[in-house]
A and B are shown apart, each in its own frame.
Chain A
Amino acid sequence: MTEEKKDFFVSDISLSYQYTAGNATTRFLNKVAEGKLVAQKCPKCSAVYVPPRGSCPRCGIATEEELELPDTGAVESFTIVHIPIPGNPIVPPYVSAMIRLDGADISFLHLIQEIDLAEIRIGMRVQAVWKDKSEWGTTLENIKWFKPTGEDDVDPLVFKFKE
């Protein structure tokens, strides 16, 4: 009989915490719960932020003015992920994309589905696919994913910020 000597063992730990969304994000998420994507605009350089964080990092000032954006946009860039995320039901390969909503000056990460993976490209036009209204909450998960609209691609130059 052999005895196995163990110097190390794996022990999972958990951490519970309270997350406070903050003023700007709370305003944004309350609108998302109604199916609206409401951006905030910088009073100085006019940059439009979605999701908004309440200030413009370029100018260092608060963004008070709100404007609703459509749920359409374009792919600023993307990757096709081939490894699973532990504890996440998304099955690889899947597309993680930087989505630039029409009228926005920053992008956010979301999924693209209902597409042949070989077709995905920078500049492709996409539109949000929402969950059933009964499932909506204060989360961007209300959008299941984005799907191609079939419109002509945009020139990636449109992603360049113009003051």
Chain B
Amino acid sequence: MIEAAVIGVGQTKYEAKRRDVSMGGLVRKAIDKAMLAAEVDWDAIDAVILGKAPDMFEGVMMPELSLVDAIGANGKPLLRVHTAGSVGGSTAVIAASHVCSGNFDTVLTVTYEKQSESNATWALSPKYPYSPHINAGAGGYFAPYMREYIRRYDAPENIGWKVAVKDRLNALKNPLAHLQIPGIDENMVAETPMLWEPLRYLESCPSSDGACAMVISNKKLAESRNAAWIKGMAVRSEGTLSAGRDEVNPQGGQDCAKDIYDQAGITNPFKEIDCAEIYVPFSWYEPMWLENLHFCDLGEGWKLTEKGATEIEGDIPFNMSGGVLSSNPIGASGMIRFGEACLQVTNQAGDHQVDGANVAMGHAYGGAAQFFAMWIVSNKK
């Protein structure tokens, strides 16, 4: 059994360009909010765990070192985590593991990206030696997987538009979300330019600046607070260039989900999980992950999306905060999912709160859809 709980979540406002703050200022804003929510002072923090996506995104190598004062890690154990786009999730799992180890009562964890200080799309698609320069950003890399999903299950084109609309309507209920597009509908999405077929502009995530922090503690502090108890957590990875790999439904994701459900005693995730924040940077990943995470049978994911099951009022709400499709400070995007799951079960999600949410899931994936991190949180110890 996991003896750790999230006692405070802090997020910045997500924007295309946070020019009012430096990287240090950005992470500190999230940390201050998390510590305020957790009702803890610096004396209570025993270690700091920082995560972010590749250093080349901003061109600052090992930023955990230059940020040491901003993140309050001076004189304290400090660890940096990096697992591509899933890093926000795996950082949360690793921070919680440190609490579970018994060596730390309370751990501060923070993740961020300041995408405006570089260009992540092209940082992800350099010309590699000895090979043709073809790939055009993460969307270009994932689009063939989505194409294969559509072919395999004969999914209609507008499913992607539907996800794009649903998440942006949710974002209108989250004042921290980057994209705020009043009046968005399927026609508006369908009329935006095609980027990487089948993905249109509004079916893709934005490029954001932002940070997310959490304070994770054991029962000594958590029992007297409005805490989100971690019931199951796991990470998995799989080889990108492995024969037999199914990019549409990766084994690593299936196994990771099964692991956290077993830990949490969940046998029917569709029924027993009240809502989920799932890493959907491109529209088609919603139906794909519905299936990969065992919320439904293969080929049924797009039908759940089609009938509105993933809307805030639906059977299994996905991405109430607006999700990665509305805010994407890459390094933080996974932790935002994990933190938003905590806000839901502690009834702190504001206008995007799911009524009566007791059990929620946070999920992140990254790399070539080969890194996975997930957790289940509950308001009951």
Contact = CB atoms under 8 A, between A and B. Distances in A.
Contacts of B194: 80, 82
B183 interface: no
B241 A98 contact: no
Interface in B111-137: 122, 125, 127, 129-137
B243 interface: yes
A156 B132 contact: no
Contact of B195 (A53, A57, A82): A82
B197 interface: yes
Centre residue among B122, B125, B134, B199 by max chain A CB count within 10 A: B134
B255 to A, nearest CB: 15
B122 A58 contact: no
A19 B239 contact: no
Contacts of A76: 144, 148
A86 interface: yes
B224 interface: no
Interface string B222-253: 00000000000000001111111100000000
B147 A122 contact: yes
Nearest to A162: B244
A21 B241 contact: no
Interface in B131-158: 131-137, 140, 143-145, 147-148, 151-152
Centre residue among B19, B59, B129, B245 by max chain A CB count within 10 A: B129
A49 B130 CA distance: 17
A86 B152 CA distance: 33
Interface in A111-148: 111, 122, 138-141, 143
Nearest to A85: B136
B144 A105 contact: no
A149 interface: no
A50 B194 CA distance: 31
B182 interface: no
A83 B195 contact: yes
Nearest to A48: B243
Interface string B3-19: 00000000000000001
Interface residues of A, number: 48
Nearest to A7: B19
B356 interface: no
A56 B125 CA distance: 25
B140 A81 contact: yes
Centre residue among A85, A87, A105 by max chain B CB count within 10 A: A85
Contact of B144 (A21, A97, A156): A97
Contact of B19 (A8, A56, A82, A163): A8
A53 B240 CA distance: 11
Nearest to A20: B129
B295 interface: no
Interface in B190-227: 193-199
B54 to A, nearest CB: 13
Contacts of B151: 77, 122, 156
A49 to B, nearest CB: 7
A86 B130 CA distance: 19
Contacts of B59: 13
A58 B196 contact: no
A141 B131 contact: yes
Contacts of A61: none
A45 B243 CA distance: 9
Contacts of A57: 238-243
B237 to A, nearest CB: 11
Contact of B129 (A19, A45, A80, A111): A19
Contacts of A83: 136-137, 195-196
Contacts of B244: 47, 58, 105, 160-161, 163
Nearest to B148: A77
A82 B152 CA distance: 24
25 contacts: A19-B129, A25-B130, A57-B239, A58-B243, A77-B145, A77-B151, A78-B144, A79-B197, A81-B196, A82-B193, A82-B195, A83-B136, A83-B196, A85-B122, A96-B136, A96-B140, A106-B243, A106-B245, A109-B135, A110-B134, A122-B151, A139-B132, A140-B130, A141-B130, A141-B131
Per CB-CB distance, the 5 closest pairs between chain A and chain B, nearest first, are: A57-B239, A161-B244, A47-B243, A79-B143, A77-B144
Given A80-B194, A81-B195, 18 more contacts: A56-B243, A57-B238, A57-B239, A58-B242, A77-B144, A79-B147, A82-B194, A82-B196, A83-B136, A83-B196, A86-B122, A87-B127, A97-B144, A105-B244, A106-B241, A110-B132, A122-B148, A140-B130
Interface of A: 7-8, 13, 19, 21, 25, 29, 42, 45, 47-49, 53, 56-58, 76-88, 90, 96-98, 105-106, 109-111, 122, 138-141, 143, 156, 160-161, 163
